[in-house]
């Protein structure tokens, strides 16, 4: 999983990056909010980070604003965001979560706590990916069912025992394989 770390303090950024890389994650880094947003826009799509560790207060675009942008920009709504900040009050926590952060960690951060919170984020990202794949499968199945229903209705309109030219029944079903319509060719009545 690719993680974006955006932190303007060089030492803190290095500690975050080294901690996450040692744990096996691919990390890209940005020195401020403008660079972080530029990376998101540049890497949009399959190469975009699925998790972001953002400093709340940075030059340019603050982490809290990046949260808001991610939540309102198509393709980025599901990025898991952990805010890292020295602001530890309950009001700050509430404000950060309301802006779109998924989690919150205070500075100075504990590497064990960071690892635990990123692992939770990683599980959430995997679950979102799995759910999205299932939704795609269900949508495809529904489209197939709707096509079958539509073709079935067309078959009733054309009359039973007929094969729709180039239609859903194609060359697979021949007239003799279709059930008779009630009242037509009923034997034994």
The 10s digit of each residue's pLDDT in 85-111 is: 888 788 888 888 999 999 999 998 999
Give CA separation, 19 vs 15, 108, 145, 168, in Å.
6, 13, 49, 57
Q: What is the pLDDT of residues 127-183, one digit of tens each?
A: 988 898 898 888 888 888 888 888 887 766 555 555 455 554 444 555 555 555 555
Structure pTM? Answer: 0.72
Q: Which fold has domain 2-136?
A: Rossmann fold (3.40.50)
Q: Where are the domains positioned within the chain?
A: 2-136, 141-177
Q: Which two tokens stand for residue 189?
A: 């009545």
pLDDT digits (tens, 9 = 90+) for 22-54: 999 999 999 999 999 999 999 887 788 999 999
């Amino acid at each position: 999983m690719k993680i974006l770390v955006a932190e303007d303090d060089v030492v803190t950024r290095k500690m975050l990056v080294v901690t996450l890389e040692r744990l096996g994650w691919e990390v890209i880094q940005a020195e401020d909010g403008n660079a972080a947003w530029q990376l998101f826009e540049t890497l949009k799509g399959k190469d975009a980070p699925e998790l972001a560790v953002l400093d709340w207060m940075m030059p340019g675009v603050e982490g809290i604003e990046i949260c808001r942008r991610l939540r309102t920009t198509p393709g980025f709504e599901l990025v898991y965001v952990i805010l890292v900040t020295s602001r530890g009050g309950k009001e700050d926590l509430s404000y950060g979560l309301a802006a779109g952060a998924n989690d919150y960690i205070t500075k100075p951060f504990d590497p064990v706590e960071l690892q635990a919170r990123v692992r939770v984020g990683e599980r959430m990202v995997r679950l979102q990916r799995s759910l999205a794949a299932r939704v795609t499968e269900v949508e495809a199945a529904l489209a197939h069912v709707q096509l079958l229903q539509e073709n079935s209705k067309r078959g009733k309109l054309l009359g039973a025992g007929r094969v729709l030219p180039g239609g859903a029944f194609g060359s697979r079903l021949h007239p003799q394989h279709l059930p008779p319509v009630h009242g037509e060719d009923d034997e034994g009545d």
